[in-house]
Amino acid sequence: MNGESSGGPSYNLVVGSQHRYVRMANDAPVMDATTWSANVTVQNLTLQPFGTLDGTTAEAAGVRVFFVDEPNNGVEVLNHDGEATFTEAVPQ
């Protein structure tokens, strides 16, 4: 993945529960015969600062969205940023 951390103490947090901890939303999608596209945002619904190492300064790639299951009916994601693996279940 791009956007390496600038250093400093931090935890990594994997967040689920749409509309409880996070809200993912998209504007009106644009679709033609071959492609579907939309602008997607992530809203932090928790009291915990997201994407920051010090509670104030935003990290450039401090929030990322991972596909757990990609479409399995021939639809392909066209603009992945990359791949990464979660190697620890505890804060790292």
CA angle at residue 86 from 92 to 7, to 5 degrees?
Answer: 35
Structure tokens at 15: 């967040």
Least distance in angstroms from the C-beta of 61 to another protein: 9
Q: Is residue 55 close enough to count as binding another protein by CB under 8 A?
A: yes
- Which of residues 14 and 89 has its CB atom nearest to another protein in the complex? 14
Q: Which residues contact 56 (CB under 8 A, 6 or more apart)?
A: 49
Interacting residues toward another protein by CB under 8 A: 5, 8-16, 22-24, 26-27, 31, 33-56, 59, 62-71, 73-79, 91
